[in-house]
Amino acid sequence: MNEEQNGVYQHNYKEMNLEDLKKLLESCEISKNQKKKILKQIKWIESADSRRELRKKRKQRYKEMTKQSIKDGTYSKRQKLEKITTRDNFDELHHIAIDLSFDKLMTNKDLRKLGKQLGWCYKENRRSQHPVQFHICGLQDRMRSHLDPSFTNWDVHFDGNVFESFPKEKLTYLTAESGNVLEELKHGMVYVIGGLVDHNHKKGVCHNLAEENKISTARLPLAENVDLQGRKVLTVNHVFEIILAFCECRNWRDAVLKILPPKKLSSNDVTSKTNENHCDEVQKSSEHVDEDFSNKLLTKDLP
């Protein structure tokens, strides 16, 4: 499929076969950037057989390892995770919604990034000790094509337009421009994260949209807890994970330090993050030693 943008005819190289790509490569009308993309796609197609062979080897190795672990008595099936999504007890649960109404404001590259961020949000929520009700709102065909193919099986709520899916008094839109600081998470409230990868090009879009729809807004208490370095914009999954972490520890500073990478923190905050991680490791190690010692006492022959 080809697209025309700003009068320039763009090719979707991923949908072209090897022969057409090589013909296009010979054209004198393509730019250096286009040539680079074509060569990358040609290399991808030509390496298909080797990738297929590598997958077979991995599958065979996994079978052998499983067979050996069964023989040694160490094999255990992965525990099936319980279903999280429910329509019951709405006012007793925490809710996070991703507003996907910004397709037209993003390039395909941005949509791919957003798709990966949504996948990360889902994975973290699925494995959390305190999962939230995860709502994906306003999913459209363009965004749909950039999600993992397994997304149709995700344990999430697929809702329509976020402003039409919930009562307005139940919504709080999280925006960096809000004058309200989010102090606590309330049960039954839906905290909305704007599904927008904009690289600071479209400041205030989510905030303005919330005000137009007369929705309350709030911002995460970042400045009150850490000294952010560089760009103040957080990815969708970082915002989601900070809220998820707060549900577990009930402390904003601990939640922020747990999720944000060191490059976004000041040297003092990085030191705090390192010390806390070290303490966690020492505690886990101590628990492991205590458990081993207890097991030895239990299995030791008594006189």
Please state the rounded mean pLDDT for residues 199-204: 76
The beta-strand segments (E) located in 107-262 are 133-137, 157-159, 171-174, 190-194, 216-218
Task: Please state the separation of Cα 155 from the chain's center in Å.
Answer: 14
The predicted pLDDT at position 206 comes to: 94
DSSP helix/strand/coil, 242: helix
Answer whether residue 70 is part of any domain: no
Residues 24 and 160 in one domain: no
Answer whether residue 296 is part of any domain: no
The position carrying tokens 């337009």 is: 161
Residues 124 and 246 in one domain: yes
pLDDT tens figures, 2-16 = 444 443 345 677 778
Answer whether residue 49 is part of any domain: no
The predicted pLDDT at position 275 comes to: 60
- Looking at per-residue pLDDT, the higher value among 2 and 242 belongs to 242
- Find, among 244, 243, 220, the residue nearest to 232 by Cα: 220
pTM of the complete model: 0.69
pLDDT tens figures, 164-194 = 999 999 999 999 999 999 999 999 999 999 9
Q: How many folded domains does the chain comprise?
A: 2
pLDDT tens figures, 61-87 = 888 888 888 888 877 766 677 899 999
Q: Bridge partners of 216?
A: 172
The predicted pLDDT at position 291 comes to: 47
Residues 112 and 252 in one domain: yes
Answer whether residue 136 is part of any domain: yes
Report whether pLDDT(202) > 60: yes
Tokens of 143: 């965004």
- Looking at per-residue pLDDT, the higher value among 195 and 202 belongs to 195
Residues 112 and 230 in one domain: yes
Answer whether residue 267 is part of any domain: yes
Q: What is the CATH number of the domain that holds 113?
A: 3.40.1280.30
| Alpha carbon distance 131, 152 (integer Å) | 19
Answer whether residue 218 is part of any domain: yes
Widest pairwise Cα distance in the chain: 90
Residues 141 and 205 in one domain: yes
For the ranges 3-17, 37-51, 209-223, 231-245, the maximum mean pLDDT occurs at: 209-223
DSSP helix/strand/coil, 295: helix
Residues 30 and 165 in one domain: no
Mean of per-residue pLDDT scores for the chain = 84
Answer whether residue 65 is part of any domain: no
Tokens of 68: 């050996």
What's the domain range around 37?
A: 2-44
